[in-house]
A and B are shown apart, each in its own frame.
Chain A
Amino acid sequence: MRTILLAAVVLAAAAGASAADKKALRPAKANRPGMNRWNDQAPGSTTPLPRPYPGAPPSVPHGIAGLAITRDANSCLDCHLEGSDMGDGHAATKVPPSHLDAKAALIGKRYQCLQCHATRTK
């Protein structure tokens, strides 16, 4: 075995090495593709996640399949805007004052909730 390895190294050095030899010389980390297991917990069924650090936006604890933020409707606001609770007594975390203007309207620049609030996989 030792001889074979040695021979391979000598051969590679002499021939300038083929691609396969070079990979043997410097093994690259194996590709290990992973699968994303998207969160499928329904809104309202989860509890808030801790913030990564004070001031950081909290991640979204529930799944987002079927929810959409379009020009005409923002699904997040269905539950997260003050006064828009689901009527089932569940208190979703509300949009904070920092996201509201002087008239307490959601600032347009804060409309795209998912660009700051990260989702979570399982």
Chain B
Amino acid sequence: MKQRITRREFLQWGGLSVAAVTVGGGLVALNPFEANAVELLPGLTWDKAPCRFCGTGCSVMVGVEKGKVVAVKGDPDSPVNEGALCEKGYALPFIQYGADRLTKPLIRKKNGKYDKRGKLTEASWDEAMGLVAAKAKEAIAAKGPSAAAMFGSGQWTIWEGYAASKLWKAGLRSNSIEVNARHCMASAVTGFMTTFGIDEPMGSYDDFAHADAFILWGANMAEMHPILWAKISERLLTNTAAKLYNLTTMSNRSSDMAAKEILFTPQSDLALANGIARLLLKNGTIDAGFVAKHCMFKRGKENIGYGLEDGFKFKDEPVATDLEAFRAFVEPYTPERVQELSGVAPEVLAELAAVYGDPKVKVMSFWTMGMNQHTRGTWINNLVYNLHLLTGKISSPGNVPFSLTGQPSACGTTREVGTFTHRLPADMVVTNPAHRALSEKLWGVPAGTIPDKPSYTAVEMTRALDNGEVLFFWSMTTNPFQSYPKLNRYRDAALKDGRFIVVSDVYPTRSTEIADVVLPAAMWVEKEGAFGNAERRTQFWRRMTDAPGEAKSDLWQILEFAKRMGHEELFTRSFKGHDLPAGRKVSDASAAWGAYVEKGLFEEYRRFGLGHGHDLAPFDDYHAAHGLRWPVVDGKETAIRFREGYDPYVPKGAGVSFYGNEAAGSRAVIWQRPYEAPPEIPDREYPFWLSTGRVLEHWHSGTMTRRAPPLQNAYPHATANLHPDDAARLGLKGGEKILISSRRGAVKVHAEVGGRVTPQKGMVYVPWFDEDVLINELTLDAYCPISQQTDFKKCAVRIERAS
């Protein structure tokens, strides 16, 4: 007798006003807790903080009672989430209180002394930090500054990343600092830099309310970016003409709101984008005026390799071309050839080209790991920008190619602070003498301090650990020995004699189990922090609770290490004049240094970006606002970059200016990038594609979410999702235990058939959150030669029933 509410009926609900409100009044009794946690929980103190999880950057009101986080609610004043949170956000009160929280430093010891073959044993901070510093000095003495490596993440606060970067580059004279963001959005960065000459999206979340078409390029936003998905859902429900296209390698929840689910063969997104560009030219639906005025054309090297060999090197050599050369370049991408490569029918390709080409349709394209974790990640980023540039659908309300991020401060910390081996703050790089000189000046260190060459990107860093060139490896706010590709090699590398592994974390993980020293960390509102989200919004929070036991913030740890490495002075001068804030709890780092270290570091850091498109507001402004989107000039944030009237950096009368490429006439680049096959393709021996990823309920390696009962109860274990036809062919039923193997390793996991995610035939999907299913033992450490970002989405595996 079930009746479905149709969309029309849903919309008509708007008409049922008075009666429903009356009825609605009665609902409060049925749901006594729903309406407002602030009123329902008197006696709590509430303060705002950005969510600890994804890159959306929802603002959360955190309720504290007797020194403990007991409730959260969506921040109603935040334009990001407007009072809403997803189920991970609502689980935030659990993440600090898992039973096995690390509370004391641990050193691997035998007979009371450090021994790589010993057992993790409780130690004092003094002993642990003394050992860490001694081992870093030993590594540097043996193999030079690049032998001591720091591996951080997009979960570092802005000042943690900044302090680590400054210590490594200006103090230790080492570029051996990298972040898990290399595995996550390095291709997004190189995509922005090669096309626009400046990093990060031009648009913002304001655009959702204006768009007519949402095109997902391998991004399952319904699970991975729920609050942004809510914005899309609202637009689709209130604007009947709006449409969503889900370009994907697997059926997923994002298809439920789609006009079309478009399944394509892994890697063929390159062909699809070029095929659409070809049709735009053929149909005459490009914006020729925009292209002539604001774009230039380039091509780079082809057959660029996959980074599979140790010490792999690549340098692109861009050559200027023109529209006619571009036309000739895309000509081979006929609908028939695109169909051969992708499986996408010509009429579907034509429909996509019509959406991109219709001047009345405002288009937002979205991507995350599908395009970034790709051995041609930079290229596919370039190619989707091509579609928006060719049609002029960029930097105006509702028109934006939108590269999303997966970590709360992938943008704010890793990209903007520049915590990569090759980067410096505000889009500067170590290979540029002027950038080094400016950084050395702002850091007050002698000319020539910062090494002029990058040392190791993420995968190269662990290869160097294996090969004995890196001897000291410290990971913070990340779980590399679960999250790295080709895990067997790098876990073994960490266990080799002479390698010293330090892991700062909040719970025991797959990384702490192989560490030589484990440092207990303070997390989230136990410290004072700042994150930057995917729409360039910088958000601050204050310390609200105490860390358990002897746990210390990563900032405290970095600064204590700096002191022991003889670089105290590098930081005391940053803190000068920044007195401790009065009348509230200060962070452990500020307490230790007797100064407002967060403010000192931030005020110094923002000097890197002032005046050239990366302006951040003064420190205190962020505590007053619900986040501000940079560039912040004269107190005003920027919702849309490169467009006059929105972006103060666009000269009067220019209309549009891609000023990141100022030296080349402020034009964006339309790139000729071909389809090239991935390095490992299913064959007779290993007949399935393997793709890894996330699920809605869990985040990254599950360290936090698996300790939150509502999430863990909802999705306890990683499963291997299979297409029903493949399962039938293999004689497998849902729930059966299977063995998945690649050329690099094998794991046992239970099969899920026809579940929430159903891959296309010939593919298996295994999320990586589960430490009992180390799926990265199977993945390949191939990477995009330009970005050096790993491809976790494609390798070849075999499936059999497990005994």
**Chain A interface residues toward B at CB < 8 A:** 9, 13, 16-17, 19, 22-23, 25-26, 28-29, 31-36, 51-57, 59, 68-75, 77-78, 81-84, 86-88, 93-98, 100-112, 114-121
Contacts and interface: CB of A to CB of B under 8 A. Distances in A.
B716 A55 contact: no
Contacts of B230: 108-112, 115
B15 interface: yes
A68 B714 CA distance: 17
Given A52-B709, A82-B24, A93 B30 contact: yes
Contacts of B713: 59, 118, 120-121
A112 B226 contact: yes
Given A57-B90, A71-B7, A86-B1, A121 B514 contact: no
Nearest to A108: B234
Given A52-B710, A55-B40, A19 B4 contact: no
Majority secondary structure, A binding face: loop
A73 to B, nearest CB: 4
B492 A22 contact: yes
Ranked 4 nearest A-B pairs via Cβ: A55-B37, A108-B234, A104-B20, A34-B717
A96 B27 contact: yes
Given A34-B772, A108-B234, A112-B222, A59 B256 contact: no
A51 B73 CA distance: 13
- For chain B, the bracket of interface size reads 35 or more
Given A33-B718, A33-B750, A111-B237, A94 B5 contact: no
Contact of B10 (A9, A77, A94): A77
Given A29-B771, A94-B31, A105 B16 contact: yes
B237 A59 contact: no
B663 interface: no
A51 B33 contact: yes
Which of the listed residues A26, A81, A98 has the most CB atoms from chain B within 10 Å of its own CB? A26
Interface stretch (B81-89, B265-273, B452-460): B81-89
A6 to B, nearest CB: 12
A71 B23 contact: no
Contacts of B510: 28-29
Interface string B226-248: 11011101111110000000000
Contact of A109 (B84, B256, B711): B84
B77 to A, nearest CB: 15
Contact of B226 (A34, A106, A115): A115
A70 B222 CA distance: 12
Contact of B714 (A23, A59, A69): A59
A24 B82 CA distance: 52
Contact of A28 (B16, B227, B491, B710): B491
Contacts of B6: 72-73
A87 B1 CA distance: 9
Contacts of A36: 715-717, 719, 750, 752
Nearest to A77: B5
14 contacts: A23-B492, A29-B510, A29-B771, A33-B747, A33-B773, A54-B40, A55-B72, A56-B90, A81-B13, A82-B20, A94-B30, A105-B16, A110-B84, A119-B714
Nearest to A15: B497
A118 B222 contact: no
Interface string B619-643: 0000000000000000000000000
B735 interface: yes
Given A96-B35, A104-B17, A109-B84, A73 B5 contact: yes
Contacts of B11: 105
Contacts of B226: 112, 115-116
B234 A109 contact: yes
Nearest to B21: A104
B431 interface: no
B749 interface: yes
Which of the listed residues B1, B87, B496, B749 has the most CB atoms from chain A within 10 Å of its own CB? B87
B14 interface: yes
B82 A104 contact: no
A31 B747 contact: yes
B3 A78 contact: yes
B93 interface: yes
Contacts of A112: 222, 226, 229-230, 233
Contacts of B735: 35
B121 interface: no
B547 interface: no
Nearest to A101: B14
B318 to A, nearest CB: 42
B750 A55 contact: no
Contact of A71 (B71, B87, B236, B714): B236
Nearest to A21: B495
Nearest to B751: A35
B507 to A, nearest CB: 13
Contact of A72 (B7, B35, B496, B715): B7
B626 to A, nearest CB: 17
B5 A52 contact: no
Contact of A116 (B31, B86, B238): B86
B233 A111 contact: yes
Contacts of A13: 497
A71 B752 contact: no
A68 B21 CA distance: 27
Contacts of A68: 256
Nearest to B256: A70
Contacts of A69: 256
Interface in B694-745: 696-697, 709-711, 713-719, 735, 737
A52 to B, nearest CB: 5
B30 A54 contact: no
B111 interface: no
B347 interface: no
Contacts of A116: 84-87, 90, 226
Given A71-B257, A110-B84, A33 B749 contact: yes
Contacts of A35: 717, 719, 735, 737, 750
A29 to B, nearest CB: 6
A87 B27 CA distance: 18
A22 B494 CA distance: 10
A97 B35 contact: yes
Contact of B23 (A56, A57, A82, A109): A82
Contact of B20 (A100, A107, A121): A100
B28 interface: yes
B414 to A, nearest CB: 26
A107 to B, nearest CB: 7
Nearest to B90: A56
Contacts of B495: 17, 22-23, 25-26
A97 B24 contact: yes
Which of the listed residues A13, A19, A75 has the most CB atoms from chain B within 10 Å of its own CB? A19
Contacts of A121: 713-716
Which of the listed residues B5, B11, B41, B510 has the most CB atoms from chain A within 10 Å of its own CB? B5
B662 interface: no
Contact of B87 (A16, A78, A98, A117): A117
A7 to B, nearest CB: 14
Given A25-B117, A104-B17, A78 B90 contact: no
Contacts of A118: 87, 697, 710-711, 713-714
B16 A94 contact: no
A11 B384 CA distance: 55
